[in-house]
Amino acid sequence: MVISNTKTPEITSPSLIEMAQSTQIAARELAVLSTQQKNQALGAIAHALEAHTKEILAANEADYQKAEEEGIPKALLARLKLGEKKLKTAITGVLSVVNLPDPTGITEIHRQLDEGLILKRITFPIGVLGVIFEARPEALIQIVSLAIKSGNGVILKGGKEATQSCNTLVEIIHQALAQTQVSTNAVQLLTTRSEIQELLKLDKYVNLIIPRGSNSFVQYIQANTNIAVLGHADGICHLYINKVADLEKAIKITIDAKTQYPAACNAIETLLVDEEIAPEILPKLAKALQEKEVELRGDSQTLKIIDIKPATSQDWATEYCDLILSIKIVPDLEAAISHINHYGSKHTDAIITEDPTAASLFLKLVDAASVYHNCSTRFADGFRYGFGAEVGISTQKMPPRGPVGLEGLVSYKYQLTGNGHVVATYTTENGKQLEHKDL
């Protein structure tokens, strides 16, 4: 193995290694199943979840009561609570993954290197995913369906508040899979926090870690594993109102991008306003935002126009996840782009303008996974992009970048088929050239 673990070679729990080995074996079997076989497994899961609704909701209710007694914050309680409606939506989600195209087995390159020597590049599952997610039971259902459809095994670790919900869900999923071609070992659940440490060492068996959570959590994971990490992280997103903006659009989009769901990673944290239109638009914008109970913090130039709290330099680097917005006046497009490239988290940034040249420059020069023109940053989402679902949003520069759905969960293999072909035929001395004809 080239990619072996030099940082943390000692593994303490043999049972976890065995479990990961069994997931790897199950994943290799799953990788070569037909689309129909994988869809059958998803159908069985959807059916079983529906049949065991009562049991699932009871387990979730127990988690909820325990969490409530422990006094966890209301926002987290709301996420933890499953309820019949959310469960139904999640089951519909499983069935919608059935209808998505299989991301594996797609021929990306088909090339004749020479007579009878045929190269194909074919998409193929990554192997085993390690997904660490928040205390949100329906996330488990979604992750499992995406993993199975993309042909990957998955080792899950949910937030501890959802332990009973996750246990019950995986038990039901296992019962369902037992009647299909997908091995139950393809889906595994870790139940203790200490197992995360161990998971990070299993680079021989786990091919991609997907940590969902805070920036600091994702950073912690990256600093402690040699396994590839898909950084599903929060975002510092910007909206820049250019001097040639349509003011009505600007206000409407600002309100949506900040207030429609302020805790989402694709909500904006900073508004950049061109100095030429700031005196006209800022009072109107401030009024509209304050009506939505948004706390505003402005730079010194902004404070000359509207009476709000001053922003500190810290504000430009802060993701509030709340009804707070920092506002900065910029001299021009270039300054806006430069601010975004300096403070942004490469998630999603938008420009409001009626000037196509300004829009085009912004889309080209802003270094982010998603760059928008005249629409709300809140569209940055796998469902909205039409991926059917998402495991997360990557703010890394290497693919998969941005919202990651099924297609982001595959890699590829090169297959070369010959008829006794050897390289010696094509060396300089022997002179024969490869032809590289795309088929």
Q: Judged by CB, which is closer to a copy of itself: 307, or 354?
A: 354
Q: Judged by CB, which is closer to a copy of itself: 66, or 111?
A: 111
What's the rounded Cα separation, in Å, for the pair 288 and 275? 19
Spell out a b/e string for 254-293, using b for 16 or more CB atoms within 10 Å of the CB, else e. Answer: bbbbbbeebebbbbbbbbbbbeebbeebbeebbebbeeee
Q: List all residues 6 or more positions away from 19 whose beta carbon is below 8 Å from its beta carbon.
A: 155, 188
- Least separation in angstroms between CB 88 and a copy of itself: 13
- Least separation in angstroms between CB 178 and a copy of itself: 23
Chain-centroid distance of CA 326 in Å reads 26
Q: Residue 24: name the closest of 1, 53, 45 by CA.
A: 1
What's the rounded Cα separation, in Å, for the pair 301 and 255? 22
- Least separation in angstroms between CB 304 and a copy of itself: 29
Q: Judged by CB, which is closer to a copy of itself: 320, or 372?
A: 372
Tallying the residues shown for the chain, one arrives at 439
Q: Judged by CB, which is closer to a copy of itself: 127, or 159?
A: 127
Q: Which DSSP category does 432 fall into?
A: P
What's the rounded Cα separation, in Å, for the pair 108 and 130? 26
- Least separation in angstroms between CB 191 and a copy of itself: 27
Region for residue 293 given its phi and psi (left: phi exceeds 0; alpha: psi -120 to 50; beta: otherwise): left
Q: Judged by CB, which is closer to a copy of itself: 2, or 10?
A: 2
Q: Judged by CB, which is closer to a copy of itself: 287, or 397?
A: 397
Taking the CA atoms of the chain, what radius of gyration do you get in angstroms? 25
User: What one-letter code names the amino acid at 87?
Assistant: L
Q: Judged by CB, which is closer to a copy of itself: 303, or 434?
A: 434
- Least separation in angstroms between CB 255 and a copy of itself: 8
User: What one-letter code names the amino acid at 21?
Assistant: Q
What's the rounded Cα separation, in Å, for the pair 44 and 292? 45
DSSP 66-132: HHHHTT--HHHHHHH--HHHHHHHHHHHHHHHHHSPP-SS-EEEEEEEETTEEEEEEEEE--EEEEE
Q: Judged by CB, which is closer to a copy of itself: 45, or 336?
A: 336
- Least separation in angstroms between CB 286 and a copy of itself: 19
- Least separation in angstroms between CB 272 and a copy of itself: 18
- Least separation in angstroms between CB 31 and a copy of itself: 8
Q: Judged by CB, which is closer to a copy of itself: 175, or 197?
A: 197
- Least separation in angstroms between CB 372 and a copy of itself: 5
Q: Residue 23: name the closest of 123, 126, 95 by CA.
A: 126
